[in-house]
A and B are shown apart, each in its own frame.
Chain A
Amino acid sequence: MLVAWEVGVRISGVSALLLPPPTAIVSTLVGSRALFLRHAMVTLVEILIGFALGAAVGLVLGVLFSYSRLLERAIYPWLVASQMVPVVAVAPILVLWFGFTLTPKVLVVALICFFPVAVNTIDGLRSVDREMVDLMRTLGAARPRIIRSVRIPSALPAVFSGLKVAMALAVVGAVFGEWVGSSEGLGYLMLAFNNQLATADLFAAIFVLSVMGIALFFLVGIVQRSVIPWYREDRGHHEPSKEG
């Protein structure tokens, strides 16, 4: 595909300003690797802190809601509403309050991240197998142990689904936060290159961002496999298979 791209660009005579050939992108990547690395680190830090904050808030809210219907009724609509207000509107305000610092980006990322985590945590904790809880009771288990041994483990697959969605969104959130106001980061770099019509550099920045996003997403998957090694997305667990 890359070859087709390269050849296509060269023979069709498309302006390099519109679609640079891959070789040009690679050469700028290599040539300016220090620059890309520095800005990528900035974005990475924003993503990681924002993600951690958003995930933590999402988890706490999810747990609180699943234990108190009252709390859920009181606050859940507001959370949903918070997702309806576009980040586009909130981000400039945050920049206004906090300036060109790390804070507004972290907050934008956290704001996007907490929601899928909260929703999935609630669903996960609710999806607990009633009969398994009953079994624990017949074995004489008290509530704290049932929470620890049944509710939490059975919620984890859903929580990880939420974390994966959140991570994917976090990357977008960080770049967006940078577009609204910043002097560094991949998002900033992309805007700058765009203004200079440095298309090859722009593509290189997008490439770095994609690689980072994919790596982070798979990182969540790796953590998932080590935390819940018993869980396989492609297999059911609840129905006993027939003996062969």
Chain B
Amino acid sequence: MHPKLEVRGVTKTFGSGAGSVTALAGVDLEVAPGEFVSVIGPSGCGKSTLFNILAGLDSPSTGQVLLDGAPCAADDLLGRIGYMPQRDLLMPWRTVLDNTILGLEIRGVSRREARLEALRLFPEFGLEGFERRWPSEISGGMRQRAALLRTFLAGRDVILLDEPFGALDSLSRAGMQQWLLQIWETHRKTILFVTHDIDEALFLSDRVYVMSHRPGAIVDPVSVDIPRPRDYEVTTSVEHVERKERLLELLRPTREVLEA
């Protein structure tokens, strides 16, 4: 069987000549159908750049992106991959409910039907009672859940999540991680997740890819074979600590660059 999503030798250089910036220097990764895979790497290593390419917003300088085994140009990818960018990007002029139905509306579902469909998921996403609020009136965690619901409702099999919990404090973060796993287990999407939090990556993922400091390149993935459903307690287990050490080891060259 094909991987759901595959990245082969993707590089990305912005600009040309003396002022050019190489953001990605050879990224290879694959995600199986229904798998939860994370990419971790230091700030500025090109994670968002990679996601923009996968979502079809940008083209790689070299290399290929394959969806269901078929090579896809940027235009083919647009509209086929669910993407939740680093900022929640809720539209201030739409209520929370109407923000979540954006993808359905674009697909041509009538507003009425779209709202009904969204409302069914509101309790699960912890948004019940806030349907008619403006995004500016709800908390950061709720905004993230609303943005995630918007991504889910767009109905794509593959979902890219770019540091969805980056702006949250560690307590709400832990809660949101457990909640995300539940959501993923009930809806069975293929998820590629970006973070720079090692614990978060290990707790959530089947496999974790490490990206080196800029220009970003992918090192081999670390598998996380903790049985599911997982409990947050696994983050204190011996295996967890061992894996964490391996990841830190993989990130080490990065640190030297930072300290140099």
Contact = CB atoms under 8 A, between A and B. Distances in A.
Query: Do the two chains belong together in a single complex?
Result: yes
Interface of A: 129, 131-132, 134-141, 145, 149-150, 153-154, 156, 228, 230-232, 235-238, 240-244
Contacts of B142: 243
A241 B106 CA distance: 28
Contact of B78 (A138, A231, A241, A244): A138
A240 B107 contact: no
Interface stretch (B37-45, B62-70, B88-96, B202-210): B88-96
Nearest to B144: A240
Contact of A242 (B94, B154, B168): B168
A140 B107 contact: yes
A153 B56 CA distance: 25
A135 B83 contact: yes
B214 interface: no
A153 B91 contact: yes
B79 A240 contact: no
B93 A240 contact: no
Contacts of A145: 106
A138 B57 contact: yes
A25 to B, nearest CB: 45
A150 B57 contact: no
Given A138-B57, A240-B140, 8 more contacts: A131-B85, A132-B89, A138-B81, A141-B106, A230-B93, A238-B87, A240-B88, A241-B140
Interface string B136-149: 10011111100000
B150 to A, nearest CB: 8
Q: Which 9 A-B pairs have the closest CB atoms?
A: A140-B79, A237-B92, A243-B141, A153-B93, A243-B140, A243-B139, A138-B83, A240-B140, A138-B55
Contacts of B83: 135, 138
Interface residues of B, number: 36
A220 B167 CA distance: 37
B25 interface: no
B85 to A, nearest CB: 6
A244 B140 CA distance: 8
Contacts of B60: none
Interface of B: 52, 55-57, 78-83, 85, 87-89, 91-94, 102-103, 106-107, 134-136, 139-144, 154, 167-169, 172
B107 A150 contact: no
27 contacts: A131-B87, A132-B89, A135-B83, A135-B85, A135-B89, A137-B78, A138-B57, A138-B79, A139-B106, A141-B106, A145-B106, A149-B91, A154-B93, A156-B93, A230-B93, A230-B134, A231-B92, A231-B93, A232-B136, A235-B136, A237-B135, A240-B140, A242-B139, A242-B168, A243-B141, A243-B169, A243-B172
A149 B92 CA distance: 11
B89 A129 contact: yes
A138 B80 CA distance: 7
B143 A240 contact: yes
A132 B139 contact: no
Nearest to A150: B91
A150 B89 CA distance: 11
Nearest to B173: A243
Contacts of B143: 240
A244 B88 CA distance: 17
A70 B84 CA distance: 35
Given A240-B143, A243-B139, A134 B57 contact: yes
Contacts of A238: 87, 92
Contacts of A149: 91, 102
A154 B89 CA distance: 12
Nearest to B172: A243
A243 B168 contact: yes
Contacts of B79: 137-140
Contacts of B141: 243
Contacts of B85: 131, 134-135
Contact of B169 (A129, A131, A240, A242): A242
Nearest to A140: B79
Nearest to A236: B136
Contact of B167 (A140, A153, A240, A244): A240
